[in-house]
């Protein structure tokens, strides 16, 4: 899970990085606001797999604005950047299954694209045990046919292309290692140029190829400006690790997305665990009917 830790360290507030820079807004924020509006003052809330705390902070904002005095806590298995000046109690670097919370100590548990990354059975049993009788669990989950997944799958293929087909970072390392060997180096450099140019031209609408090309160009500029060998190899390793980590995160997201059969199996598990009044819907955006995932609400018996 280090790839999530690396992502949260960049201080993104949500999973979607720059796309929702302040916090979730629009349909996702509206969904959570409508969930909070059904809660009572002094309720105890827990946000499962909180990342850098987006939903916990939305709940805190709602609580302050509406005088609700919620007591909010949240956890993530990755090391997160705990927000300053927040009353939320964050458990950073701790799996939800392992957070020590009293039985029936929570009135409302939330998961925003979190539960589907975890061991369902263990996590649902844990949610069930921490909720008081009548307490509610609400979740938004990735669906395999959502617009988000459509983009993730494209991005994932681009990473596979860079790392497995082009083996771009291997070529670059070889180039920098042998750049004093005039004979080998010209062929390598032209292969790298051709690979990068065709990667960009074959994916005209995508940002990632341009981003990778821009970052590599910067290393070449550093080299031309007389930077040391150590600097070149350090920069290249850093770049490879950043993109590799991003590729693992996207792979995680694609792997977490649930098909119709999988979400129904998850609802079956919820019933076995003891949840009642399970309500499952496609989570559709208000922007002309785009699918954003699944919404799931259930009550602890």
Ligand X SMILES: C[S@@+](CC[C@H](N)C(=O)[O-])C[C@H]1O[C@@H](n2cnc3c(N)ncnc32)[C@H](O)[C@@H]1O
Per-residue tokens: 289: 């009917």
Taking the complex as a whole, how short is the minimal distance between the CB of residue 96 and ligand X, in angstroms?
Answer: 4
Nearer to ligand X (CB atom), residue 80 or residue 168: 80
Taking the complex as a whole, how short is the minimal distance between the CB of residue 165 and ligand X, in angstroms?
Answer: 27
Taking the complex as a whole, how short is the minimal distance between the CB of residue 295 and ligand X, in angstroms?
Answer: 14
Distance CA 278, CA 263 (A): 12
Candidates 45, 72, 75, 124: give the one binding ligand X (CB under 6 A): 75
Nearer to ligand X (CB atom), residue 50 or residue 143: 50
Tell me how many residues contact ligand X (CB under 6 A): 21
Is residue 14 within the footprint of ligand X (CB under 6 A)? yes
Q: Please give the residues from 83 up to 142 whose contact with ligand X meets the rule CB under 6 A.
A: 95-97, 112-114, 117-118
Nearer to ligand X (CB atom), residue 4 or residue 108: 4
Per-residue tokens: 152: 């993730």
Query: Residues 6 or more apart from 252 whose CB is under 8 A from it?
Result: 3, 4, 117
- CA dist 112 → 49, 52, 131, 145, 232 (Å): 8, 12, 17, 17, 40
Taking the complex as a whole, how short is the minimal distance between the CB of residue 14 and ligand X, in angstroms?
Answer: 4
Q: In this chain, which stretch among 49-57, 166-174, 257-265, 283-291 interacts with ligand X, using CB under 6 A?
A: 49-57
Query: Residues 6 or more apart from 12 whose CB is under 8 A from it?
Result: 18, 21, 51, 52
Taking the complex as a whole, how short is the minimal distance between the CB of residue 97 and ligand X, in angstroms?
Answer: 6
Nearer to ligand X (CB atom), residue 93 or residue 214: 93
Candidates 76, 107, 144, 155: give the one binding ligand X (CB under 6 A): 76
Pairing of strands 89-92, 291-300: unpaired
Candidates 49, 88, 196, 298: give the one binding ligand X (CB under 6 A): 49
Candidates 32, 36, 50, 247: give the one binding ligand X (CB under 6 A): 50
Beta carbons of 258 and 141 less than 8 angstroms apart: yes
Please calculate the CA angle 219-153-279 and round it to the nearest 5 degrees: 135
- CA dist 293 → 58, 63, 206, 270, 278 (Å): 20, 26, 23, 18, 16
Distance CA 263, CA 277 (A): 16
Is residue 6 within the footprint of ligand X (CB under 6 A)? no
Residue ranges in contact with ligand X by CB under 6 A = 1, 4, 14-15, 49-51, 54-55, 75-78, 95-97, 112-114, 117-118
């Amino acid at each position: 899970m280090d790839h999530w830790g690396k992502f949260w360290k960049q201080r993104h507030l949500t999973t979607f990085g720059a796309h929702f820079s302040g916090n979730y807004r629009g349909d996702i924020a509206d969904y959570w606001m409508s969930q909070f509006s059904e809660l009572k003052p002094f309720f105890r809330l827990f946000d499962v797999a909180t990342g850098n705390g987006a939903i916990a902070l939305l709940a805190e904002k709602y609580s302050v604005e509406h005088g609700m005095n919620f007591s909010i806590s949240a956890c993530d298995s990755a090391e997160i950047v705990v927000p300053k000046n927040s009353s939320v109690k964050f458990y950073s670097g701790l799996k939800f299954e392992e957070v020590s919370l009293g039985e029936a100590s929570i009135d409302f548990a939330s998961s925003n694209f979190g539960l589907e990354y975890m061991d369902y059975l263990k996590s649902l049993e844990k949610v069930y045990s921490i909720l008081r009788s009548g307490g509610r669990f609400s979740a938004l989950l990735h669906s395999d046919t959502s617009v988000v997944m459509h983009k993730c799958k494209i991005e994932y293929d681009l990473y596979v292309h860079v790392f497995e087909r082009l083996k771009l970072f291997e070529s670059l390392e070889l180039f920098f290692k042998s750049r004093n060997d005039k004979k080998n180096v010209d062929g390598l450099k032209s292969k790298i140029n051709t690979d990068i140019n065709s990667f960009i031209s074959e994916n005209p609408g995508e940002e990632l190829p341009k981003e990778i090309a821009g970052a590599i160009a910067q290393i070449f500029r550093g080299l031309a400006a007389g930077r040391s060998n150590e600097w070149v190899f350090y920069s290249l390793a850093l770049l490879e690790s950043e993109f590799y980590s991003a590729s693992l995160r996207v792979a995680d997201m694609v792997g977490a997305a649930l098909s119709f059969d999988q979400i129904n199996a998850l609802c079956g598990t919820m019933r076995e665990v003891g949840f009642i009044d399970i309500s499952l819907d496609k989570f559709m955006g208000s922007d002309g009917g785009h699918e954003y995932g699944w919404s799931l609400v259930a009550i602890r018996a």
